[in-house]
Amino acid sequence: MAHLNDCLSYRTGRLYVESVAAERIAREAGTPTYVYSARLIREKFQELDSALGNLPHLICYALKANPNRSLCRLLAKEGAGADVVSGGELRQAIDAGIRPGKIVFAGVGKTEDEIILALRSGIRMLNVESQEELEAVTRLAKRVKRPALFAVRVNPGVDAGTHRHVATGLPDSKFGVVPAEALRMYRQARTNPWLKAVGIHCHIGSQITRVQPYQQALDSVLKLASKLRSEGQHLKYLDLGGGLGICHDQEEPLPIPAFARMLRRELAAWPGLELVLEPGRFLVAEAGIILTRVLYRKRTSRAHLVIVDVGMNDLLRPALYGAKHPVIPGHSPQRPKIRLNVAGPVCESADMFARGEKLPWPKPRELWAILKAGAYAFSMSSQYNSRPRPPEVLVEGRNFRLIRAREQFEDLVRHER
């Protein structure tokens, strides 16, 4: 079956994550439950790291994909830094043991408190997204007496060919500034003792499956870096963002060897420049699944419908972007299949995980799994319909452990007065 690998497989007809039976996890942790394979996360990190070879680089894990401390720690041990977009993520990254010198901080709406936290923590660089933000950074750097190390986030106006909700490099995007404005910002910073330009940043979108948009974005930022160099301003870091696409359903993933070849070729003429990448989804999406049980089965006038216990509050992407996540049975995948719709219990018609997919007609309480749910699943979850969030489990070989407990009723009302 497509989408399976040595970290997610059927053994004698039963679904396993590494060497742990999915049914065992479901019995002990209940359903729905997010389950992650530690080995696959390590393998993804190593795949990218070794493809980049001896090109000076730092892989900064984008915490927004999944900020769980255990996953951050695991990646930190592999050598990852972090890409954060809020004070909360910055604190989570430091808390997980990621050195501040390996953390970059982007976001169009950083608050004063967040900027001060970043300055005091001594992060690698603030990726500044507007002239007014640069002014705020200057003022706050002076106030806390810590010169600000920064990059300007450039919007290169590249169409990365992704869903419009995850494209960030288009001309009308809210992210970054156009190259001409970035140049003005760098020039203005030169004479300011509280500003130190150390890098240049861009991030053109998410789930990018072709090398060419990256090449275009790189051309644009290198042009600007050349101009700065000719004016005597030498940058240390070139941060090309994240967005490395995976195969969610049937699309081709970004070819990592070709991507890395392009980067090595283009950056060969820039020996003093360290590449920063900010992948989120690429590192953790495929390592995660959601275990869910079938609650009810019924026939509508048009379709066979299966209701499962995971809802759009636990996995928002299908409702938000029309994203597809494969759904597979927890055992005996070879049974006869029929076309099914799979829906969650949330009171919204958008709460659907499959439409017309070929799957076996399940038994009551049967265990199923929704795949590619390691990224933007838990991190986008909510308590909508007053549903406590599911727990998270990390599998390592024959062992597994809870890395976040199941929320309880008290968690729903804790902050109410």
Ligand X SMILES: Cc1ncc(COP(=O)(O)O)c(C=O)c1O
Nearer to ligand X, 16 or 214 (CB): 214
Q: Smallest distance from the beta carbon of 335 to ligand X, in angstroms?
A: 35
Applying CB under 6 A, does 62 fall inside the site for ligand X?
A: yes
The length of the chain is 417
Q: Which of 20, 80, 13 is nearest to 393 (CA)?
A: 20
Active-site residue, from 7, 60, 202, 347: 347
Could you give the CA distance from residue 111 to residue 119 in angstroms, rounded to a whole number?
12
Q: What are phi and psi of 126, to 5 degrees?
A: -90, 125
Residue 374 to residue 392: CA distance in whole angstroms: 10
Tell the smallest beta-carbon distance from residue 163 to ligand X (Å): 11
Comparing CB distances to ligand X, the nearer of 243 and 360 is 243
φ/ψ of residue 232, rounded to 5: 90, 10
**Which range touches ligand X (CB under 6 A), out of 238-246, 289-297, 308-316, 379-387?**
238-246
Q: CA 248 to CA 56: how far, in whole Å?
A: 30
| DSSP assignment of 278-301 | --SHHHHSTTEEEEEEEEEEEE-S
Question: Quick one: tokens of 11?
Answer: 């053994």
Binding of ligand X by 242 (CB under 6 A): yes
150 touching ligand X, by CB under 6 A? no
374 near ligand X (CB under 6 A): no
> Could you say which of 39, 42, 102, 203 contacts ligand X (CB under 6 A)?
203
Active site residue 347: yes
Ranges within 19-48 binding ligand X (CB under 6 A): none
d(CA 380, CA 395): 22
For β-strands 237-239 and 195-201, DSSP reports them as parallel
Give the integer Cα–Cα distance in Å for 83 and 149.
Answer: 15
User: In this chain, which stretch among 58-66, 112-120, 255-263, 362-370 interacts with ligand X, using CB under 6 A?
Assistant: 58-66
Kindly write out the interface string for residues 309-348 of this chain, putting x where it contacts ligand X by CB under 6 A and - elsewhere.
Answer: ----------------------------------------
Q: Looking at 57, 110, 281, 293, which residue binds ligand X (CB under 6 A)?
A: 281
Interface segment toward ligand X; rule CB under 6 A; list 28-36, 59-67, 181-189, 229-237: 59-67
- Coil, strand or helix at 46: helix
Using CB under 6 A as the binding rule, whether residue 199 contacts ligand X is answered as: no
Q: Which of 213, 241, 326, 362 binds ligand X (CB under 6 A)?
A: 241
Q: Which of 89, 129, 278, 314 binds ligand X (CB under 6 A)?
A: 278
d(CA 168, CA 155): 8
Tokens of 75: 């990646």
Rounded Cα gap, residues 400 and 394, in angstroms: 5
Site of interaction with ligand X (CB under 6 A): 62, 64-65, 83, 106, 203, 206-207, 241-244, 278-282, 375
Residues designated as active site: 347
